[in-house]
Amino acid sequence: MLTIHELHEKLVRRDVSAVEVTKAFLAHKDTVEPKVRAFLSDSREGALKGAAAVDAKIAAGETIADLAGIPGAIKDNICIEGQQATCASKILEHFKAPYNATVIEKLAVSDYISLGKVNMDEFAMGSSTENSAFHETHNPWNLDCVPGGSSGGSAAAVASGSAVWALGSDTGGSVRQPAAYCGVVGLKPTYGLVSRYGLIAYASSLDQIGTLTNDVEDCAIVLNAIAGHDAKDSTSIPQEKQDYKQALVNDVKGLKIGIPEEFFGEGLDAASRKALDDAMDTYKKLGAEIVPISMPNMKYGIAAYYIIAPAEASSNLARYDGVGFGMRVDGKDIVDMYIKTRTEGFGDEVKRRILLGTYVLSSGYYDAYYLQAMKVRTLMKQDFDEALQKCDILLTPTAPDTAFKIGQNSGDPLAMYLGDVCTVPLNLAGLPGISIPCGYKDGLPIGMQLIGKALDEATLLRAAYTFEQNRTDLRMPSPMGEVEL
């Protein structure tokens, strides 16, 4: 699979032009997209224009950014001025973003190229991309399977070779789980490292924009482009900019890797367990220390997340009322108009979460559910604090199993929610996590999650990079063929 760093080299050496690169990716996308259906929109004209501008810079002898001229894809809940931002919802089907998200402004400085907006679960609620109001997306490794979610379009675009990199968002695993299912690298940064300005809100205390790429070096490159303080996001952390490429060191000697037993319990598939055990062996051989630990409050993760996230969602989604923006269905009076608009505009899962969220926030139940969940959140955070005092990083599965069949869980919300057991705790604690491929089962990729201390993405990247460099046996030919340059 072509990576950002390889393509950058080729551009700088003038082996190929940026326009040729974009055209090659568009041609590949045209052949695989009818099967994969990762995209919700097509920005080929803008992409070719952007590529021509990069070629002009190269011709003028200017230095170009690492990402310049390399085709990417953007999840459809991130605003690009003048383009659709549907959140894969009928209610925003005709909405055009009036401004750029901060990540887009930052990417523009790097002369990024976007081939289009990509599919997702409606308002990022889901784990399979089946909740998109428009269409399903297929897993490039097995077209009968889901790509994961909610950033399923982002993961499938990268895994199918239509895009070299993609942005997603992660509220409870939506970057890491699709990355695991599609065999790519997915990073959810520390809460506050990447600005959320212009990311359409799902659950604001958990939402974070993340990256999907073919390897760890590319992950560092995209993170370099999007990280940094932003005055427009009050939860953005003021801190000095780092160069994450410096973290790409093939060495884990002395690194303490915690293995929290609670992530390896009931429900973990045997092949995934084996792949993770092998990964621990790899790290041991490379000189890392494997430290068994216990984090007893992890068992509350799913319950706490599925109270807090819907609570925040019910408030965030109140704005889609047929008045400010988005779809409007007229009614006999204003209340009737609200009801009709929201009934027609939202899909079942979004309605379920709004109902759940309003219920747990209602006066009679606030203490029993919302407040309790917030207390549990603190306990979980303390578990992480203690674990990360003893260890540098933690190693867990990203998901209990590989990608499931399309339709398999769609009638069973609880089964779907339980699949998020390994990813939601990090969002509740605000910590960074990366999913990288660590094996295969029946032709489907298995993901390993590494969890780091807040703002210590560098150690995560070093550990992930070292694994990737030493486990070349895991490199597979691209499931849908290579892009022909």
Q: How far is the CB of 305 from ligand GLN (least distance, A)?
A: 7
Does position 350 interact with ligand GLN (CB under 6 A)? The reply is: no
Does position 425 interact with ligand GLN (CB under 6 A)? The reply is: no
Phi-psi category of residue 290: left, alpha or beta, with phi > 0 → left and psi -120 to 50 → alpha: beta
**Beta carbons within 8 Å of 49's beta carbon, 6+ residues apart:** none
> How many residues belong to the site for ligand GLN (CB under 6 A)?
13
Q: Tell me whether strands 393-397 and 444-452 are parallel, antiparallel or unpaired.
A: antiparallel
Does position 173 interact with ligand GLN (CB under 6 A)? The reply is: yes
Helix axes 457-470, 270-285, angle to 10 degrees: 100
Does position 126 interact with ligand GLN (CB under 6 A)? The reply is: yes
Does position 127 interact with ligand GLN (CB under 6 A)? The reply is: yes
Nearer to ligand GLN, 282 or 396 (CB): 396
Footprint (CB under 6 A) of ligand GLN, residues 302-331: 309
Among 7, 40, 124, 275, binds ligand GLN (CB under 6 A): 124
Closest CB to ligand GLN: residue number: 174
| Calpha distance 127→175 (Å, rounded) | 10
| Calpha distance 158→164 (Å, rounded) | 6
Indicate if 57 belongs to the active site.
no
How many Cα atoms within 13 Å fall on the side-chain side of residue 73?
35
**Beta carbons within 8 Å of 425's beta carbon, 6+ residues apart:** 298, 301, 380, 384
Q: Give the tokens for residue 207.
A: 């939402």
> Could you give the residue ranges of the DSSP H alpha helices within 286-434?
301-316, 334-345, 348-361, 372-390, 413-418, 424-429
Does position 174 interact with ligand GLN (CB under 6 A)? The reply is: yes
Nearer to ligand GLN, 102 or 171 (CB): 171
Nearer to ligand GLN, 124 or 268 (CB): 124
Among 392, 420, 457, 468, binds ligand GLN (CB under 6 A): 420
Does position 428 interact with ligand GLN (CB under 6 A)? The reply is: no
> What residue type is assigned to position 207 of the chain?
D
CA distances from 68 to 81, 221, 334, 335, 441 (A): 19, 11, 49, 49, 36
Q: How far is the CB of 309 from ligand GLN (least distance, A)?
A: 5
210 and 181 in contact (C-beta within 8 Å)?
A: no
CB atoms within 10 A of CB 482: 11
Binding map of ligand GLN across residues 83-122, x = CB under 6 A, - = no contact = ----------------------------------------
| Calpha distance 31→39 (Å, rounded) | 13
Catalytic residue from among 89, 174, 236, 435 = 174
| Calpha distance 277→279 (Å, rounded) | 5
Does position 191 interact with ligand GLN (CB under 6 A)? The reply is: no
161 and 173 in contact (C-beta within 8 Å)?
A: no
Catalytic residue from among 29, 75, 90, 117 = 75
Does position 159 interact with ligand GLN (CB under 6 A)? The reply is: no
Q: How far is the CB of 319 from ligand GLN (least distance, A)?
A: 18
Question: Interacting stretch for ligand GLN, rule CB under 6 A, among 42-50, 137-145, 168-176, 335-343?
Answer: 168-176
Q: How far is the CB of 344 from ligand GLN (least distance, A)?
A: 22
Does position 172 interact with ligand GLN (CB under 6 A)? The reply is: yes
Q: How far is the CB of 301 from ligand GLN (least distance, A)?
A: 11
182 and 139 in contact (C-beta within 8 Å)?
A: yes
| Calpha distance 264→253 (Å, rounded) | 25
Nearer to ligand GLN, 38 or 125 (CB): 125
**Beta carbons within 8 Å of 408's beta carbon, 6+ residues apart:** none
Question: Interacting stretch for ligand GLN, rule CB under 6 A, among 169-177, 256-264, 272-280, 332-340?
Answer: 169-177
Catalytic residue from among 17, 150, 151, 154 = 150
Among 111, 170, 217, 401, binds ligand GLN (CB under 6 A): 170
Maximum Cα interatomic distance, the chain, rounded to a whole number of Å? 71
Nearer to ligand GLN, 55 or 122 (CB): 122
278 and 438 in contact (C-beta within 8 Å)?
A: yes
Indicate if 150 belongs to the active site.
yes
Among 125, 220, 222, 317, binds ligand GLN (CB under 6 A): 125
Nearer to ligand GLN, 289 or 359 (CB): 359
111 and 69 in contact (C-beta within 8 Å)?
A: yes
Binding map of ligand GLN across residues 201-230, x = CB under 6 A, - = no contact = -x----------------------------
Contact set with ligand GLN (CB under 6 A): 124-127, 150, 170-174, 202, 309, 420
For the annotated catalytic residues, the residue numbers are: 75, 150, 174
